[in-house]
Structure 1
Amino acid sequence: MLNLSLIKHTKVYQEAKEEGKQEIVVEVVPKLLQRGLSLQEIAEILEVDVEIVRKAARQT
């Protein structure tokens, strides 16, 4: 049986993790922008590149 540390290194796990992170960014960015945070501040809080935040902001 695979243990958790081995599963975390699989491609499927990594892709699912990244997809989940992107969904959170798309959901949270508009809320943080409404509260007056800048794109740079949001990127720092979420620990993602500012371009990812910019794209999420355009989707709203």
Structure 2
Amino acid sequence: MQKGVQKGLQQGLQQGLDRGKQQEAVLIVMRQLTLRLGLLDPVLQQQIEELSITRLEELSEALLNFETATDLAVWLEK
């Protein structure tokens, strides 16, 4: 029983840490996109907030080539 509780706590802690990393990545990418493209459509913002950390990392590189919000929308559809 004790091992089960401990394992559950460890899993919960890891999930919390992963979620925190994802949220921080979203904030950074959103700042970069806002500086590059201006204010983003709420639909695009929502799509970005739902990306995994891996996809957010990919987006942080891809956005350097974006010129319009359409470029972002096309990338998000991939």
TM-score (normalizing by structure 1): 0.50
Residue equivalent to 1:45 = 48
- 1:26–1:45 distance in 2 versus 1, CA, 3 Å: closer
Considering only CA atoms, is the larger Rg found in Structure 1 or Structure 2?
Answer: 2
Q: State the AA in 2 paired with 1:38.
A: L
Matches within 5 A, 1:3-42: 10-34=11-35, 35-36=37-38, 38-40=40-42, 41-42=44-45
Q: State the AA in 1 paired with 2:47.
A: E
TM-score (normalizing by structure 2): 0.41
| Long gaps (5+) in structure 2 | 1-6, 52-78
Percent of paired sites with the same residue:
24
| Long gaps (5+) in structure 1 | 1-5, 49-60
CA contact (8 A) 1:25 1:46 kept: yes
Aligned-pair RMSD on alpha carbons?
2.8
Q: State the AA in 2 paired with 1:43.
A: Q
Q: Name segments (4+ residues, structure 1) moved above 3 Å.
A: none
